[in-house]
Amino acid sequence: MKAATRRAPWHWLLLAVLLSLAAQTAFATGAPLQFRISEGRIENAFYQDGPIAAHLLLSSGDTPRALVAFPAGNSGVGLWFDEVAAPVQWTLGEVKGMRVVEHGRTLNGIVAKASLAGGPLRLHAAVLGSVRVLRNYQLDHAFPPETAAPLQLSARSASWKRARLDGAPGYALTLAVENGRFRRAGDGTLVLQHDRAGNPLRIRLTALTGETPLTPFAQGELLDDRAGADERSRNALRFLAYREKFLAGSWRFDTYFGRDTLMSLRLLMPVLRPVAVDAGLASVLARLSPAGEVAHEEDIGEFAVLDHRRAGEGDSAAPTYDYAMIDGNYMLAPVAQAWLLDDARGREGAARFLAADADGVRRGDALLRNFLFVAQRSAAFAADPVYPNLIALKPGRDAGQWRDSNDGLGGGRYPYDVNAVWMPAALRAISRFADSGLLDAYATPAQLQALRDAATHADAWERNAAALFAVKLPHDRAVAQVRDYAARIGVDAGPALASLGDGALEFPAIALDAEGRPVPVLHSDDGFALLFGHPDAAVLARSADSSLRPFPAGLLTGVGLLVANPAYADAGLQARFGSNAYHGTVVWAWQQAVWAAGLQRQIARDDLPEATRAHLREAQARLWQAIRAANQVRTSELWSWSYADGHYRIAPFGASAADADESNAAQLWSTVYLSVEQP
């Protein structure tokens, strides 16, 4: 940030004029989508209108930020300021869309008015480019030096603008102040200060991207009349859903994630219109690896250019895909079954959907490729059900399923959900497809027989894999563990201890370690079995009891269902699952929705004793009480908690300096309550 001040050249002045004019331009798509979400010290403003989609984030407090993320190319611009002695406060005003054409190049974005109380502010960095670069900068304060943008400075404005690394249209950011000025400190740092101390700064922020826009769904194309009325969830879903793909979450994940797409499609399927389900499922099939693996995340836009440069492949912007995650590989079949075989709306066009192609590859061929991948990997454990034949994380990886932080599985190598739930669910779905006739146009007779043979492995996987993950603790030990852990983290152990009864405690481990030993962390992934499996009455009772007990005996708190509880592990493992860990003792909105939908699915079964269904209804009531208690953060990615005076209180994840990261204000799979009915 030490570039010398230069007179703004004519094209910058022209751009300023064009921005002013463009701010008045609206697109012929009806009223723009605009909504705001405040969480802790962060104000989020979302704007979508035709080719413009932008998420503005203003972070108040002692470490101020201002950034804008664009779904187009997963791009963004951001300003980070040095820590201030006294907290500052942003107040957001009007936000408008704008479109600028300069030298034949189109840039889309927003202009926003805001005021800032406090300061002065010392600029730490301006970062323009891929959201992946901004996201990495947020974590470790470093960005590729070749992405640095030159500064154009005047007394009342600071502007950064550059082309994409491959010469394509790039990014622009301007911060202008009406009643303040920019100056250089003695060390060259850029300082923004008031003209007159005590008055809030009046600021105009302009942010633009040249990346290719996505195509939003029209208002009536996304949800049908059965969808819930919650406006915040509807708005978040509209901002994240496009014809090309669904975005995982904003601001940090403004692009395709395979697992997030599949789970969100499955949960939203009852209320999504067919064109939306088709689009989401097609985006997954289009990104399969040659072997049939589901892509976890894509690198697009300038981040793809960076990938190719590192690989010595020049300045190509061709997308690159991450296939490091393993759970999406086994989710695809049951989600495809739910749409193409079980849902009447999907069945109607199933053959047409599979016959359609993208880039010369028929969707049916892609789906078959995944099925053959799953079938091949089911054989070893079915023949010899020992832990080394389970599905393990890929070599050198600490994560491989949705708990994709380094400590998410507590050092485990064989995840519970992939092996005990997803593999058998995938095999049963593949059997349905093989018998449906839908694959006849894509598979040879030998391939169809291979799929049918593999489908016979489902029961063996479900029974034998689950047994390897079983944790059973004597009652006295479980009581002691809960009492000691509650004292360690400062919560009341009374309700938890009372819920343990007088028998042994049983639950499935979150994973097995490299030697096949269970990692004794209680977790929420049993919800997948409720949503995709057919557990017997005894397993259902055990699952509901172990998970929906009060924390720290179970997972239930006054602000939601935790995704992990390490009370039954040793102290070293407990420390890795704290309330500031990304997959620790925190609440993820979509995991609660999985449980809610799963319980409803099991309660509707007609082959269960009435006593079992009554037991599940009691558990369902406790779960929904916890869900309702966190309604204020319902579209967030996750949240944490504090505890005082016998009560849990919501703590936005990322508000504390000790938190591993921060939560997205709009998360795709947190909108799924639009289809999950409250009993």
Average pLDDT of the chain, as a whole number: 93
d(CA 536, CA 387): 24
d(CA 64, CA 87): 8
What is the 8-class DSSP label of residue 73? G
Q: How many CB atoms lie within 10 A of CB 5?
A: 15
Band (pLDDT 50/70/90 cuts) for residue 182 is very high
| Residue 552 pLDDT exceeds 60 | yes
d(CA 195, CA 155): 11
What confidence score (pLDDT) does residue 655 get?
75
Q: Which stretches within 209-356 are classed as H helix?
A: 219-222, 231-240, 258-268, 274-286, 301-310, 327-337, 344-348, 350-355
d(CA 433, CA 441): 12
Both structure tokens of 26: 């609206």
Is 505 exposed, middle or buried, given 0-12, 13-18 or 19+ CB atoms closer than 10 A? Answer: buried
Band (pLDDT 50/70/90 cuts) for residue 679 is confident
What confidence score (pLDDT) does residue 29 get?
47
| Residue 27 pLDDT exceeds 80 | no
**Taking Cα atoms as reference points, which of 424, 441, 339 lies closest to residue 374?**
424
Q: Which amino acid is at 176?
A: A
| Residue 10 pLDDT exceeds 60 | no
What confidence score (pLDDT) does residue 656 get?
73
Convert the pLDDT of each residue in 234-288 to its tens digit.
Answer: 999 999 999 999 999 999 999 999 999 999 999 999 999 999 999 999 999 999 9
Per the rule left: phi > 0, alpha: psi between -120 and 50, beta: everything else, 491 is beta
d(CA 67, CA 78): 4
| Residue 7 pLDDT exceeds 50 | no
Band (pLDDT 50/70/90 cuts) for residue 290 is very high
> Span 136-153, mean pLDDT?
94
> Span 203-223, mean pLDDT?
96
Burial 71-99 (b: 16+ CB within 10 A, else e): bbbbbbbbbbbeebeeebebebeebbbbb
Band (pLDDT 50/70/90 cuts) for residue 660 is low
> Span 207-224, mean pLDDT?
95
Q: Which residues are within 8 A (CB) of 338 and not within 5 positions of it... i.e. 6 or more apart?
A: 266, 269, 346
Reduced to 3 states (helix: H, G, I; strand: E, B; else coil), residue 251 is coil
d(CA 514, CA 28): 58
DSSP string, 584-644: SS-EEHHHHHHHHHHHHHHHT-SSS-HHHHHHHHHHHHHHHHHHHHTGGGTTSSEEEEEEE
d(CA 145, CA 125): 12
| Residue 387 pLDDT exceeds 90 | yes
* Residue bearing tokens 């300038």: 302
| Residue 351 pLDDT exceeds 50 | yes
| Residue 446 pLDDT exceeds 60 | yes
| Residue 394 pLDDT exceeds 90 | yes
d(CA 438, CA 355): 10
d(CA 138, CA 122): 17
Q: Which amino acid is at 457?
A: H
Q: Report yes or no: 456 and 499 within 8 Å, Cβ to Cβ.
A: no
Dihedral over alpha carbons 444, 450, 456, 462 (to 10 degrees): -110
* Residue bearing tokens 């994409």: 164
**Taking Cα atoms as reference points, which of 340, 479, 331, 511 lies closest to residue 412?**
511
| Residue 55 pLDDT exceeds 90 | yes
| Residue 567 pLDDT exceeds 90 | yes
The fraction of the chain above a pLDDT of 90, given in percent, is 89
| Residue 19 pLDDT exceeds 60 | no
Q: HSE of 35 in the Cβ direction (CA atoms, 13 Å)?
A: 16
Q: How far from 338 is each of 126, 282, 572, CA to CA, in Å?
A: 46, 15, 41
d(CA 677, CA 497): 31
| Residue 24 pLDDT exceeds 90 | no
The answer to which of 118-132, 395-409, 645-659 has the lowest mean pLDDT is: 645-659
Reduced to 3 states (helix: H, G, I; strand: E, B; else coil), residue 184 is strand
Q: Which amino acid is at 645?
A: D
List 564's β-bridge partners, or say none.
523
Band (pLDDT 50/70/90 cuts) for residue 613 is very high
d(CA 103, CA 11): 10
Enter the pTM of the model: 0.93
| Residue 198 pLDDT exceeds 90 | no
d(CA 59, CA 44): 9
**Taking Cα atoms as reference points, which of 304, 301, 328 lies closest to residue 314?**
304
Convert the pLDDT of each residue in 526-544 to its tens digit.
Answer: 999 999 999 999 999 999 9
Looking at per-residue confidence, does 4 or 427 come out higher?
427
The answer to which of 21-35, 174-188, 196-210, 471-485 has the lowest mean pLDDT is: 21-35
List 470's β-bridge partners, or say none.
508
The fraction of the chain above a pLDDT of 70, given in percent, is 95
What confidence score (pLDDT) does residue 232 get?
94
Q: How many CB atoms lie within 10 A of CB 462?
A: 22
Q: Which residues are within 8 A (CB) of 10 and not within 5 positions of it... i.e. 6 or more apart?
A: none
Reduced to 3 states (helix: H, G, I; strand: E, B; else coil), residue 135 is helix
> Span 31-60, mean pLDDT?
96
What confidence score (pLDDT) does residue 104 get?
86
d(CA 261, CA 268): 10
Q: Which residues are within 8 A (CB) of 382 and not within 5 positions of it... i.e. 6 or more apart?
A: 456, 457, 460, 461
Convert the pLDDT of each residue in 356-383 to its tens digit.
Answer: 997 789 999 999 999 999 999 999 999 9
| Residue 564 pLDDT exceeds 60 | yes
